[in-house]
C-alpha cells in the first residue's frame, strides 16, 4: 500500500512540475511569435483574444485597408497527462493566418496532411523537398513552387487557400519570419487588382 502512496505523490510532483515548466515554454513561444509577426506586419491597429490560458491567442491586425487575423494554438505542454495524446491528435503547434482581400483561386495542401481527405482534380507537385496537392492556374502553381523552394522549412506549410480571403495554416517555427514573409508575398502576388 505504501508504494501506491509514493506513486501518487510522485505523479502529483511530476504533474505540478510539468504544469509550470510547460506553461513557461508556451508563454515564451506566444511572446516570440507575436513579436515576429508584428515586426513583419507593422500593424496600425491591433486587438488580442487569449485562448484557453496557455494554449494560444487570436490576434487581429489592421494595416491600411488590409485586415489580418492570426490564430496560434500550441500543444498543451503544461499538461503531463494530455500532452502525449495531443501529439497524436494535433501533431504540432498551429499558426493560422487569414488576410482580407480578393485573390485568384488557388489551393495547396501538403500531401498526407489531411489523412482522410481525397483531392480529386488536384495536381501533385514537389517543392522544396515537400509534396503538395495543388489546384489553380499554371502561373499560380509555378509561383507557389518558387516560393516554397526558397523557404527554410517548406514542410511547415500545411495549407494555403486563396479566394474571397487568403488562408494559411502552418507549423510555426522559432525562425518564422522569413518563411512567413515569403508566403505573404506569394499571397499578395495573387491579389486581384
Q: Measured between alpha carbons, how far is 82 from 72 in angstroms, rounded to an integer? A: 19
Supply the pTM of this predicted model.
0.87
Rounded to whole angstroms, how far apart are CA atoms 160 and 98?
A: 10
Give pLDDT, residue 145.
Answer: 95
Q: Is the pLDDT of residue 193 over 70?
A: no
Task: Tell me the per-residue pLDDT of 85-107, one tens digit each, with 9 for 90 and over.
Answer: 888 888 899 999 999 999 999 99
For residue range 102-129, what is the model confidence (pLDDT) as tens digits? 999 999 999 988 776 778 889 999 998 8
pLDDT of residue 62: 95
Q: How confident is the model at residue 1 (pLDDT cuts 50, 70, 90)?
A: low
Q: Residue 141: which of 186, 97, 181, 111 has the closest Cα?
A: 186
Average pLDDT over residues 63-69: 93
Q: Taking residues 47-63, what's their average pLDDT?
A: 89
Residue listed under C-alpha cell 485562448: 51
Mention every residue, 6+ apart, whose C-beta is less than 8 A from residue 186. 143, 144, 147, 160
Residue range 1-24: mean pLDDT, rounded: 86
Amino acid at each position: 500500500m505504501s508504494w501506491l502512496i509514493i506513486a501518487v505523490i510522485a505523479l502529483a510532483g511530476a504533474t505540478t512540475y510539468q504544469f509550470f515548466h510547460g506553461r513557461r515554454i508556451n508563454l515564451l513561444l506566444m511572446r516570440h511569435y507575436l513579436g515576429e509577426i508584428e515586426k513583419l506586419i507593422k500593424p496600425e491597429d491591433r486587438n488580442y483574444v487569449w485562448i484557453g490560458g496557455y494554449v494560444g491567442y487570436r490576434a487581429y491586425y489592421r494595416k491600411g485597408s488590409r485586415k489580418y487575423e492570426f490564430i496560434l494554438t500550441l500543444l498543451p505542454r503544461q499538461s503531463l497527462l494530455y500532452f502525449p495524446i495531443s501529439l497524436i491528435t494535433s501533431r504540432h503547434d498551429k499558426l493560422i493566418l487569414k488576410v482580407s482581400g480578393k485573390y485568384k483561386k488557388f489551393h495547396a495542401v501538403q500531401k498526407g496532411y489531411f489523412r482522410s481527405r481525397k483531392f480529386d482534380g488536384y495536381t501533385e507537385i514537389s517543392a522544396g523537398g515537400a509534396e503538395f496537392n495543388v489546384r489553380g492556374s499554371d502561373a499560380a502553381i509555378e509561383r507557389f513552387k518558387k516560393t516554397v523552394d526558397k523557404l527554410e522549412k517548406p514542410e511547415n506549410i500545411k495549407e494555403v487557400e486563396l479566394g474571397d480571403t487568403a488562408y494559411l495554416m502552418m507549423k510555426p517555427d522559432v525562425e518564422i519570419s522569413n518563411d512567413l514573409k515569403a508566403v505573404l508575398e506569394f499571397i499578395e502576388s495573387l491579389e486581384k487588382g
